[in-house]
Amino acid sequence: MLVGILSDSHGRHLAVRTAMALFDKLGVSHVIHCGDVGSPEVFDEMIGRPLTFVWGNMDFPQDGLLTYALSLGLSIPQEIPVRIDLDDKRFAVFHGHESSFDTALQQLDVDYILHGHTHVACDEKLNGKRVINPGALHRAARKTVATLDTETDQLTFHEIRKA
């Protein structure tokens, strides 16, 4: 299964549109947004695909994002991390600013921890877990998203140039 991972779009829906076109072309089966969605238009670009997301430190659900996400029928994060199983792999999704994030890096029993927040793409192993930050679509020298093949464990970063 190919999983598309993005974060820190901060309302840049045209960049998200470009990322979704890439994910569609590559055959992504599930999209994960690691927070700082930033606007209803970002949700519009992702709708129609299996989607998991978390709120970031710059998301303000009470300002209408929550109502809009509910109107689209999206699954709203109830606790952090959001835990999902895809292709027999266990994922924990954070934004990265949460107080529980550092502890989770040490203690969670999952295969993958996905996060954003730093606007810096990274891929590292920590305590038997793969920790992935796809980068950011705003305020980053290179605007990137990532794809993860859960069968081969291959992670690829993709630069989003035109948005």
Q: What is the pLDDT of residues 108-147, one digit of tens each?
A: 999 999 999 999 999 999 988 999 999 999 999 999 999 9
The number of beta carbons lying within 10 Å of the beta carbon of residue 108 is 18
72-75, long-range: CB within 8 Å, 24+ apart, which pairs?
72/43, 72/47, 74/43, 74/47, 75/51
Instruction: Enter the pTM of the model.
Output: 0.96
pLDDT at 104: 84
Q: Check pLDDT > 80 for residue 162.
A: no
Residue ranges of domains in the chain, CATH in brackets:
2-159 (3.60.21.10)
- From CA 163, how far away is CA 143, in angstroms rounded? 10
